[in-house]
Amino acid sequence: MDPGSSKTMEVAALGRPFSLGMLYDCRQDSLIPGITLWDCEDLGKSTRQRPSPNSEFDIVASESIEDKSSALNVEASLRASFLSGLVQVGGSAKYLNDKKTSKNQARVTLKYKTTTKFQELSMDHLGAGKVRHPDVFEKGLATHVVTGILYGAQAFFIFDREVCSEEDHHDVEGNLKVIIEKIPALAVKGKGALELEEKDISNVEKFSCKFHGDFSLKQNPASFQEAVQVCKSLPELLGADGENAVPVKIWLLPLTAIDSSAARLVCQISIRLVQESQSVLEDLSELEMRCNDVLRTTPAQQFPQISKNIKTFKEMSSVFRLEFQQSLAKTLPSIRGGGEEEAVLAEILKRGRSSPFNSERLNEWMDCKEKEIYTLMSVTDTMKNLIIVKSENHLYKEIQKAKHAVCFVFTSLGSDEPFLLDLTNYLRKNPEPETSQDPRILEKEQWYASREIVNSMRAKAKLFSDFAAANQENKNIKFLIAAIANETQRGSSIYLYEGGFTVSENFELPSKPEDVTLSNTNHNSVTLKIDPPKSGAENITSYSVEYCVRGEEGWKQQTATKAGEVTVGNLSPNTEYMFRCRAVTSVGVGPANEVSDPIKTSPEKPEVRPNQSKISTSLNSTPEPSTTKLSLTDTLKKKSKKISSASPSVYQLPLKKERMNINGCRGFSFGKESMKENRTVMLLGATGSGKSTLINGMINYILGVNWNDSLRFKIIDEVQTRSQAESQTSEVTVYKIYHQDGFMIDYSLTLIDTPGFGDTRGIKRDREIVDQLRNLFSSERGVREIDAVGFVVQAALARLTTSQKYIFDSVLSIFGKDIEENIRILVTFSDGQPPPLLEAIKAADVPCPKTKEGQLNHCKFNNSAWFADNKSPTADMGEGGEAESFGKMFWNMGAMSMKRFFTAVNLMDTKSLTLTKEVLTERQQLETSVEGLQKQVKVGLAKLEEIKETTEKLKEHEAEINRNKDFTFEVNIIKPFQIHQTGGGYLFNCQQCDFTCHDNCFCTADKDKIKCSAVGPDGYCRVCPGKCIWSVHFNQKYKWEYRNVTETKTVEELKKKYDIAKVAKSPLEALIKKLNAEYDEVQAEVQRLMDESTRCINRLKEIALRPNPLFSPEYIDMLIEGEKSEAKPGWMTRVQTLMEMKGKAQIIARVEGGETLLQRNTEQTKQTTDKKTSLGLKIWNYVTGK
């Protein structure tokens, strides 16, 4: 709306008491009661009314301010007043204030709207002389008068349902929406019961309902069934003649249309600033929900130190919100009235972004707190059913109740929070410190960010839990959990109390004896060998050896003063006994190590007579009983699924699927979570290089499988569902292999299996893999650090073909330079000789660590040996024996390489993937900028041609144009067309510019579009001409393509379009200048995108391990020639994709070379100042013919 025009404007009533003739101040968005321009009698005579019946239902599934405002037809300006608190809403509009309190809340809203009549003032009384109270204009209290009102009513039924951790939020909300959508059909029919399936009936019982409406109800509905009944009765509640209807929409006429001296609305607040203000408040609301959710967690309720900081943080965020709204409420009327410029509001927003209350920094602090809580939960979960005391007074009370008290103490929960101090200083208007605290830096200093501290804490928690379980029958010991600040014991410690006083602040509890093995048996005794525990040895006073007859109850006990061999006597002959052993301390006993199999004593010793020489024979023939402990492989064999009965048999290991919720990734775990340190290894390589088989080989090595064993294990079942030319792995798969006794490595291992690069699906598939890895590295549940990157390659490659070199370069270009020392070449299909491949890798200058002798650090394997037949009937004869000897040789070679590799992994420095994630982000940003450049250059060239053609025709027909204002001529312009896409991928389209800003966006949901690489850190698109806010971009099935079309235009149309004054000395010259200025704007936008691309290129040079091969036109030419010469199936499609990539690569090469992508010819060249402003929508609308 043009504020200076005499046109009426429409506003939503929002429950405010409007009436015809009432005055309204659009600067404050407030009603002016008690003052009118006309008397009531005049208004009554000039009122016209007509019926306007209409009713509709709608579903509102979004909780954004934008969507809720849209449901109430609230435009941007009124929305700004509501956000600032200038407008107090009532009736159905209270829906705007109703916000979710938890992110675990699924919400769907049913909207009902009905209209009854429209009243308006006739125009015959609007003249200046007909106003009864002209003094209103002099006072300047109002800017508009109400001239029309649409009556009706609205109602919002808000249905909420709590989503538990096992449920998918999206699924719950979808099911909720399906059920709610059935209500309007019932309300329209007005009879019958709502037909629901049995599962739906149980679901609706979990719904709660809130009602906001313009109807007078005896009681608001609180449940689904009550909501249905109210919904059916709404039409009746309006009254037979609609007498209970209220204003829902208002028409306002500017007072300047009646008297030019009246106060006026000078300007409206720009949509961009309204949306930015809205984003600030929405971010704070999201943060409030996060705080609420955290305060509901068990650790926050158990430990006041946690909840205190969260509540303080929440309160300060609320204070900042209030101050921000007060600033808006003060500034908005002043801008609208012309007292201040919009720059004042922009400065308020800028000040907020640069303050500690910046949304990103607030969320980073909450991320830290959530990590602390999740770590606490994982630790306390191992100590279930133990008392947690909330204060030191409570602790003192509890330790008086028993002789001894053992307390697991969290020692770092009460540590200082410098970031909270920053927030406090900002609100108090104290000077900020020179270096404001960054939550990300602070997180590194926190206890939960230290792997060493957390691993130690978990180990202590396990010992504490085991110790408590072993002594649960002992009433003289109390087991407690508390939080006590102690800087000398960072993270956690175990306190020992005796008689109510502290004995030790670092008491080391004993673990179970490391091993208990059988040394000897006879007919009445058993000798056991006890290995001391790894933990708590200095506090052990003795050992308790416990035994009982197998199948019977009642354990007997024998004490041993020290570890070593212990003989248990007085046993019955030829009897099976169960044994267990535990450490004893002055406080209590430790957990027991049970001998897994029963031990049987010998038969009773026979009577011996003199001179009976057969005695020795008899004694010698008596077998000595032995016990056999099942090996790890035998144990796993029982738990695994047999998938092949060949020789050797093959078993599929039991895996537990992990819930990752990362697009393109999946996760599995093997075994129970261990306290052992974890190492992470990623395997990458070309399709067919043998990654999956190698991972299966690694598993067999880790589990201790030998060549002669009759079984093998698989963690990956390589079902041949695709051709050998395509990767058998379609998703990035994360295997968490928890350490178990019997492993050949002394740590837990996370293995990341990636799809193969360079299969027949071409570079599009390779780019998908890169997107999958970016998702994995960026997600909260993803991978944040890595210990080794294994590059799997085939040994036989004597030289690298173009496609093979492309695979090397593609894989290496993913990583940051800090990963170079952690790369290892894993050579498959090796015959034991030095692989020819190594020379090819050296020649290609592939970055990889070298040995002292200058050789590439590599490991050799032959995948054929891992599952080869080791029991051939011809094993000792001719070729069969030779085959076995080769198989065994390759097995041993692989086992030695495995040992060397996993030893090296344990010695490598763990590397954060922060730099690698930045490489992937910069690559994506560069590709997005180049996509925008391609389109903008096309627009600019078309604009240049249009200017040239228009200028020539205007000059050619100047005389005729001056005589005839309707003179027409044809000109080529560029217009947008929708091109529907049939393939996969997500298209990021701007709804305001009709522009495709990102062709292959990895963000699948519209609500996540702010994460798209086309969107800048300020939330505005970097690519579309209008630089629009991210929220007006959506995923759609079509992309916008711009084509040249011929249109007929008149000079008058162009003058009007460009606001060329009739009094201009030379209108045609002015018009040509305007067209030239438009081109300058296009060129400025191209330059901005070039600058952004140059920044990405330079940053990638600094941080990337290898340049992306697809950024080089020459490289792509070689790939195209390679595809043509090899002519493998699908080569034509792949060549077409490479040609598309070449266009982008050429743009990158020109930008890198500093070329100008748009340039006029000599005649049209003119000097321009530093116009770095973005391409305005007004100019873009003309360029696209809108």
pLDDT tier at 879, thresholds 50, 70, 90: very low
Res 1131: pLDDT: 67
pLDDT tier at 315, thresholds 50, 70, 90: very high
Indicate the DSSP class of residue 1091: H
Res 617: pLDDT: 37
- Helix spans in 383-507 (H): 392-399, 418-427, 439-445, 451-470
Any domain includes 617: no
- Cis before 648? omega within 30: yes
Percent over 70 (pLDDT), the chain: 79
Task: Quote the domain boundaries for residue 552.
Answer: 515-605
Domain boundary among 504, 531, 554: 504
Read off φ and ψ for residue 600, nearest 5 degrees. Answer: -105, 130
Give the model confidence (pLDDT) of 509-532 as tens digits.
999 999 999 999 998 999 999 999
Is the pLDDT at 601 greater than 80? The verdict is yes
In terms of domains, do 686 and 589 share one? no
Let me know: does 319 contact 284? Beta carbons within 8 Å. Answer: no
For the chain, what is the largest distance between any 2 Cα atoms, rounded to a whole number of angstroms? 150
In terms of domains, do 345 and 408 share one? yes
Distance between CA 420 and CA 368 in Å, rounded?
13
Res 608: pLDDT: 47
In terms of domains, do 411 and 531 share one? no
**Which of the pair, 1062 or 1068, is modelled with greater confidence?**
1068
Domain boundary among 448, 480, 504: 504
**Which of the pair, 152 or 859, is modelled with greater confidence?**
152
Res 235: pLDDT: 87
pLDDT tier at 948, thresholds 50, 70, 90: confident
In Å, how far are 248, 411, 530, 922 from 113, measured between CA atoms? 9, 58, 80, 48
Let me know: does 783 contact 733? Beta carbons within 8 Å. Answer: no
Mean pLDDT of 580-605: 89
Distance between CA 1071 and CA 1057 in Å, rounded?
10
Give the model confidence (pLDDT) of 319-332 as tens digits.
999 999 999 999 99
pLDDT tier at 1179, thresholds 50, 70, 90: very low
Helices (H) and strands (E) in the chain, counts: 31, 39
Distance between CA 1159 and CA 557 in Å, rounded?
95
In terms of domains, do 37 and 160 share one? yes
Which 3 state secondary structure label does DSSP give 626? coil
Give the model confidence (pLDDT) of 59-75 as tens digits.
888 888 988 999 999 99
In terms of domains, do 713 and 798 share one? yes
Distance between CA 1097 and CA 1091 in Å, rounded?
10
In terms of domains, do 218 and 319 share one? no
* CB-based contacts of 379, cutoff 8 Å, min separation 6: 457, 458, 461, 492
Which 3 state secondary structure label does DSSP give 1074? helix
Any domain includes 992: no
Mean pLDDT of 1073-1086: 72
In terms of domains, do 891 and 935 share one? no
Res 736: pLDDT: 93
Is the pLDDT at 613 greater than 70? The verdict is no
pLDDT tier at 544, thresholds 50, 70, 90: very high
- Helix spans in 218-303 (H): 224-237, 271-296, 298-302
Distance between CA 636 and CA 642 in Å, rounded?
11
Res 720: pLDDT: 42
Distance between CA 1173 and CA 988 in Å, rounded?
23
Is the pLDDT at 306 greater than 50? The verdict is yes
Structure token pair of residue 945: 């041609």
Give ∠ CA 554-555-559 in degrees, rounded to 5. 150
Counted residue by residue, the chain has a size of 1186
633-638, long-range: CB within 8 Å, 24+ apart, which pairs? 633/703, 633/704, 633/705, 633/709, 633/711, 633/713, 633/742, 636/703, 636/713, 637/711
Domain boundary among 504, 530, 554: 504
CATH code: domain of residue 601: 2.60.40.10
Model confidence, pTM = 0.53
Indicate the DSSP class of residue 606: P
Distance between CA 212 and CA 15 in Å, rounded?
11
Is the pLDDT at 317 greater than 90? The verdict is yes
Res 1175: pLDDT: 35
Any domain includes 375: yes
- Give the number of domains in the chain: 5
Distance between CA 145 and CA 36 in Å, rounded?
9
Res 191: pLDDT: 45
Is the pLDDT at 211 greater than 90? The verdict is yes
Any domain includes 991: no
Any domain includes 1134: yes
Any domain includes 156: yes
**Strand runs labelled E in 957-1027:** 968-980, 987-990, 995-998
CATH code: domain of residue 735: 3.40.50.300
Res 619: pLDDT: 35
Any domain includes 497: yes
In terms of domains, do 407 and 466 share one? yes
Across 393-407, 583-597, 817-831, least confident range? 817-831
* CB-based contacts of 296, cutoff 8 Å, min separation 6: 102
Mean pLDDT of 165-187: 78
Work out the mean pLDDT of the chain and round it to a whole number. Answer: 80
In terms of domains, do 747 and 807 share one? yes
pLDDT tier at 479, thresholds 50, 70, 90: very high
In Å, how far are 689, 822, 1122 from 846, measured between CA atoms? 17, 13, 21
In terms of domains, do 330 and 472 share one? yes
Any domain includes 984: no
In terms of domains, do 960 and 864 share one? no
In Å, how far are 120, 124, 496 from 127, measured between CA atoms? 16, 7, 92
The residues that bridge with 748 in the sheet, in sequence order, are: 678
Let me know: does 1122 contact 1176? Beta carbons within 8 Å. Answer: no
Across 393-407, 860-874, 912-926, least confident range? 860-874
Give the model confidence (pLDDT) of 272-305 as tens digits.
899 999 999 999 999 999 999 999 888 898 899 8
In terms of domains, do 760 and 819 share one? yes
Q: If DSSP states are collapsed to H, E and C, what string results for 313-364?
A: HHHHHHHHHHHHHHHHHHHHHHHHCCCCCHHHHHHHHHHHHCCCCCHHHHHH
